[in-house]
A and B are shown apart, each in its own frame.
Chain A
Amino acid sequence: VVALASTVSFYFLRSPKPLTAPALRHLKTRAAYVFAAVYGAITGYDEPESKARALEFLDNLLPTFERKTQRDLLLALFLLEHGTWVKGFWGRFSRLSPEDQAVYLKMWEGGTVTEHFIFDGIRSLCFLVCYADEKQWDAIGYTGPLVQRRSQSHLPPFHALRDPANNVSMALQESLGADFPAAVSRNQHPPSSI
């Protein structure tokens, strides 16, 4: 019992590999450590500065995800970090050698449908975080957007919508932007008939 208790506490209390991480507002530290390890193994950008940048990017992106997606992400990271035991590895994912990490991830990639879903979701997220970051674009020769604007990636929080001050007296025309009437007027030609 003592041996088992010692092993369990050694495993769970020992923190993952330390990492130089930026100050994070939304991502919890433990999840950040795991994501950094997974990110390095999946994208091949495993330098500390790349990982730190990825964490910063994900931290900014996280509030734009649906709550369910945020929960799923945390669960997926937990399963990847601790699923090592089931796959025959000693120690959590973030502590494995890069070679073992690659072998372990290949097992997830070619595993059951659920494992494949989890792997594919995390893989897509890593590539999103990596290649949506304009600091990465020079390395791959991508020229980036031609318009200098940002979409409404951070919509007003829900409570603001309920604020009577934001109701704009239910003026429905508020929803019509400047472009839309222009689009209507550009198409004034009469419809052809059948």
Chain B
Amino acid sequence: MIHTYRTITESQSISAECCVIGTGAGGSAAAAMLAEQGREVVLLEAGEFLQPSDFSQREEEMLPRLFYDAGARTTADGAIRVLHGHGVGGSTLHNQNLCKILPREIAEEWNIQGFSYSDFLPYLQRVETDLAVSDLTENDVNPNNRVVKRGIEALGYRGGLLRHNRVGCVRSGFCVLGCAYNAKMNAYRVYIPRAIEHGATVYANTRAVRLFWRNNRAEGIEAEVVHPQTREVLARLTIKTKAVVCSAGAIETPALLQRSGIPDPKQNIGKGLHLHPGAGVMGIFDETIMAWQGIPQSIECTEFLSFDPQENKRVWLVTASAHPVAAASFLPGFGKQHRELMQVYAQMASLSAMLHDVSEGTVRAKGNSQVVIEYHLKKDDRTQLALGLREAARILIAAGAKEVYIPMRLPLRAGSLKDVDALDIRIRDRQIAMASVHPMSSVRMGNDPDDSCCDGSGKLHRMANVFVADTSLFPTSIGIPPQVTTYAIGLWVGDHCNRILFS
């Protein structure tokens, strides 16, 4: 059953064995696992309950409904836009369906007691089965990805087709605005229905404000039912529970724990944030590309990404397309020059460089609902990102672009490989449009309670019955889109929560 702000008109107190906060990849999977094992589960979701018929494919309507702060959330210095979603299904409502599994090297580097790759692998495999993950085919490659593939092949770089979780995809290209065709095998379509089938209840438009606890044991959660447009508090919910699973994402989960005053003498909660930030390069072609049509991301270049600790290769190149409002925001400058760039929007292909970052930031709760994200790129990360942008530009030129743009405040332009090699690419704060769509590692797993927040099961070291089940748990960046790993973490944590507290 799903309750929304329309139906929760009075403050009330409810009780459940388990309360899962957040309904994205981690929360939905944790809830499904707990419910399947006979637990009575309540899910809280700050965003709306949207269905395929609500997805209008219009940016001005969907961005505020799918993203925190209408997609305008940034780091404190305004350098990086942090895009993360809300709504029943969380970020899986707007993601691009990329399915890559946690690299073995990363898990081994974590070296966490109670979390081994071999134990975790079956959870990853179950997610791949549940989400019907499959290889894309050449027919799925749209013109934007086709030119990128051409460039990768021309330069002899490593890369190829990605794996996705789509069934019934009509290749409309509006994935980022929610799938109007319900073709995403996401939290909304797979794990939330499964949890509901097993008796779970979802409260949408319901924002967890704080956990209340005593003697290192959570006793419940205070939540507010919020009107999606006015943000007015319509009612308050008190949920009494025996287990809490926090899955509100790497920004909201630490903020909630901080607001709750969870014991954290070393102030580890909110520390170690990785943003997996990225920036794009645009190439102008003679041919019509119409990058917004078709499956947005089907080709990757892995030439500059390695998880071998001996190699310092940390950029992943993948196509990036955007509908006009987002595209205009990411293009550099303003005025006549910007207008002229937008007039060749249909001939534009784009490729983004995403950084497997070692820089660490922090998340800090501010008031009842705000967060402050501090994050600054280290020198080596800046060098890696600059390398990624240069290589992205080279790929587009090799694919036949007549001109490439690196969207600095003072745009860098090049028309040949030689010009690209000569570009002076320096990553400075607020000089280039950067975005983060995969924030992670803000409530990290680890062996030492003085240097981490959770153990290998996802349970907070200093609480008896509070678990974390989202990207916050990762001790480092995982360098790839985290969707499959996050679902698997949800299943893992749900399973361990049940074993530890209820078996």
Interface, chain A (partner B; CB < 8 A): 41-45, 61, 64, 66-68, 102, 105, 109-110, 113, 116-117, 120-121, 123-124, 126-128, 130-132, 136-137, 139-143, 145-147, 149-153, 155, 158, 161-162, 167-168, 170-180, 183-184, 186-187, 191-194
Measured in the bound complex, the distance between the Cα atoms of B88 and A179 in whole Å is: 14
In contact, B57 and A145 (Cβ under 8 angstroms): yes
Which residue on A lies nearest to B231, using beta carbons? A66
Q: Is the CB of A179 within 8 A of B328?
A: no
Complex CA gap A131/B5 in Å reads 31
Q: Can you sample 9 A-B contacts with CB below 8 Å?
A: A43-B335, A130-B328, A151-B54, A151-B62, A161-B234, A172-B3, A180-B193, A187-B193, A192-B130
Q: Is the CB of A109 within 8 A of B409?
A: yes
CB-CB < 8 A to A171: which residues of B?
Answer: 7
Instruction: Say whether B328 contacts A127, CB under 8 Å.
Output: yes
Distance between A125 CB and nearest chain B CB, rounded to angstroms: 9
Give chain B residues whose Cβ lies under 8 Å from the Cβ of A168: 6-7
A64-B174 in contact given A150-B58, A194-B495 (Cβ < 8 Å): no
Most buried by A among B234, B292, B334, B491: B334
Contact B334 A183 (CB under 8 A): no
* Interface membership of chain B positions 471-503, coded 1 if the CB is closer than 8 angstroms to chain A and 0 otherwise: 000000000000000000001000100000000
Residues of B near A147 (CB, < 8 A) are 55-57, 180
Contacts of A126 in B (CB 8 A): 334
- Contact (A132, B59) CB under 8 Å given A140-B343, A142-B346: yes
Contact A102-B130, Cβ < 8 Å, known A142-B345, A187-B194: no
Number of interface residues of B (CB under 8 A): 79
Q: Is the C-beta of B308 less than 8 angstroms from some C-beta in chain A? A: no
Residue B126 at the A interface, CB < 8 A?
yes
Other-chain residue from B174, B182, B345 in contact with A183 (beta carbon distance below 8 A):
B182
Within the complex, the shortest CB–CB distance from B316 to chain A, in Å, comes to 26
Q: Which residues of the partner chain A approach B76 to less than 8 Å between Cβ atoms?
A: 113
Are B292 and A142 neighbours in the complex by a CB distance under 8 Å?
A: yes
- Tell whether B51 is near chain A: CB-to-CB under 8 Å: yes
Looking across the interface, which residue of chain B has its beta carbon closest to that of A98? Answer: B335
Question: Which residues of chain A have C-beta atoms less than 8 A from B193's C-beta?
Answer: 180, 183-184, 187
Docked pose: A15 CA to B130 CA in angstroms: 63
Q: B419 interface residue, CB < 8 Å from A? A: no
Check if A150 sits within 8 Å of B491, measured CB to CB. Answer: no
**Given the complex of chains A and B, what is the CA–CA distance between A42 and B234 in angstroms?**
39
Do residues A194 and B409 form an inter-chain contact, with CB atoms below 8 A?
no
Given contacts A172-B7, A194-B123, contact A184 B51 (CB under 8 A): no
Q: Which of B122, B123, B229, B288 contacts A155 (CB 8 A)?
A: B229
Residue B15 is within 8 A (CB to CB) of chain A in the complex: no
CB distance from B187 to the nearest CB of A (A): 11
CB pair A67–B180 under 8 Å, yes or no, is no
Chain B residues near A113: list those with CB within 8 A. Answer: 76-78, 430
The smallest C-beta distance from A74 to any residue of chain B, in angstroms, reads: 17
Tell me the complex Cα distance, A64–B188, Å: 25
Whether A64 and B7, one on each chain, are in contact in the complex, defined by CB atoms closer than 8 angstroms, is no
Residues of chain B touching chain A, judged by Cβ–Cβ distance below 8 Å, are 1-7, 9, 32, 36, 49, 51-62, 64-65, 72, 74, 76-78, 122-123, 126, 129-130, 172, 174, 180, 182, 188-190, 193-194, 196-197, 204, 227-232, 234, 288, 290, 292-293, 323-325, 327-329, 334-340, 342-343, 345-346, 409, 430, 491, 495
With a CB–CB cut-off of 8 A, which chain B residues contact A180?
2, 51, 193
A151 touches B65 (CB 8 A): yes
CB closest residue in chain B, given A57: B60
Cα separation A141 to B290 with both chains bound (whole Å): 8
- Contact in complex: B78, A116 (CB < 8 Å): yes
**Interchain pairs with CB closer than 8 A, number:** 185
B174 adjacent to A140 (CB under 8 Å)? no
CB <8 Å contact, B54 and A152:
yes
Q: State whether A132 and B53 are in contact (beta carbons under 8 Å apart), knowing that A142-B345, A158-B230, A194-B126 are contacts in the complex.
A: no
Asked if B346 and A140 sit within 8 Å, CB to CB, the answer is yes
B329 touches A124 (CB 8 A): yes
Least CB distance from A20 to B in Å reads 21
Given A44-B335, A167-B9; A128-B59 close (CB under 8 Å): yes
A142 CA to B131 CA, complexed, in Å: 32
**How many Å from the CB of A131 to the closest CB on chain B?**
4
With A171-B7, A175-B2 in contact, do A127 and B325 touch (Cβ < 8 Å)? yes
In the bound assembly, the distance between CA atoms of A7 and B262 in angstroms comes to: 58
CA distance A68 to B2 in the complex (A): 29
* Alpha-carbon gap, A147 to B76, bound state (A): 37
Enumerate chain B residues within 8 angstroms of A137, measured Cβ to Cβ: 324
In the complex, what residues of B have CB within 8 A of residue A66's CB?
229-231
Inter-subunit contact B2/A176 (CB<8 Å): yes
Contact yes or no, A105 B334, CB < 8 A: yes
Known: A142-B323, A161-B6, A194-B491. 11 other contacts (CB 8 A): A110-B409, A110-B430, A132-B324, A137-B324, A141-B290, A145-B58, A146-B174, A150-B58, A179-B52, A183-B182, A184-B196
Tell whether, in the assembled complex, residue B4 and residue A43 are in contact, meaning their CB atoms are under 8 Å apart: no
Chain A min CB distance to B207 (Å): 14
Complex contacts, B194 vs chain A, CB 8 Å: 187, 191
Known: A128-B59, A145-B57, A184-B196. A116 touches B129 (CB 8 A): no
Q: Which residues of the partner chain A approach B346 to less than 8 Å between Cβ atoms?
A: 140-142
Chain A hits for B64, CB < 8 A: 64
Could you say which residues of chain A place their CB within 8 Å of the CB of B6?
161, 168, 174-175
How distant is A12 from chain B, measured CB to nearest CB, in Å?
28
A140 vs B130: C-alpha distance when bound (angstroms): 40
Contacts A132-B325, A155-B229, A194-B126; is A102 near B61 (CB within 8 Å)?
Answer: no
List of B residues within 8 angstroms of A170 by Cβ: 7, 9
A72 to chain B, nearest CB (A): 11
**A69–chain B nearest beta-carbon distance, Å:** 8
Question: What separation, in Å, do the CA atoms of A152 and B302 have in the docked complex?
Answer: 41
